[in-house]
């Protein structure tokens, strides 16, 4: 999970892959581009919009444009 310029991993250090690092680095770039509160607001509001529309947690999560961008970058790593 990324919060501002900080990345918090649940996994042990030796289990953190280059793909995961790449994904989280995209979120740092997104925070820098949109600002701390701008990123969080857009992220959460988009997620809530999809949930209100009846989408499951996982579909709502993968539908967030920030996540789509991060997963696209992760696939390139």
How does pLDDT run along the chain (77 residues), one tens digit per residue?
Answer: 999 999 999 989 899 999 999 999 999 999 999 999 999 999 999 999 999 999 999 999 999 999 999 999 988 87
Contact 19, 74 (CB under 8 A): yes
> How far is CA 37 from each of CA 24, 41, 58, 71, rounded to the nearest angstrom?
17, 6, 23, 22
pLDDT at 41: 98
pLDDT at 74: 85
pLDDT at 64: 98
């Amino acid at each position: 999970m990324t919060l501002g310029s900080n990345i918090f991993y649940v996994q042990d250090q030796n289990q953190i892959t280059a793909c995961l690092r790449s994904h989280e680095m995209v979120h740092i770039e997104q925070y820098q581009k949109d600002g701390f509160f701008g990123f969080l607001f857009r992220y959460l509001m988009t997620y809530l919009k999809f949930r209100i529309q009846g989408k499951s947690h996982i579909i709502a999560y993968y539908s967030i444009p920030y996540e789509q961008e991060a997963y696209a970058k992760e696939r390139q790593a």
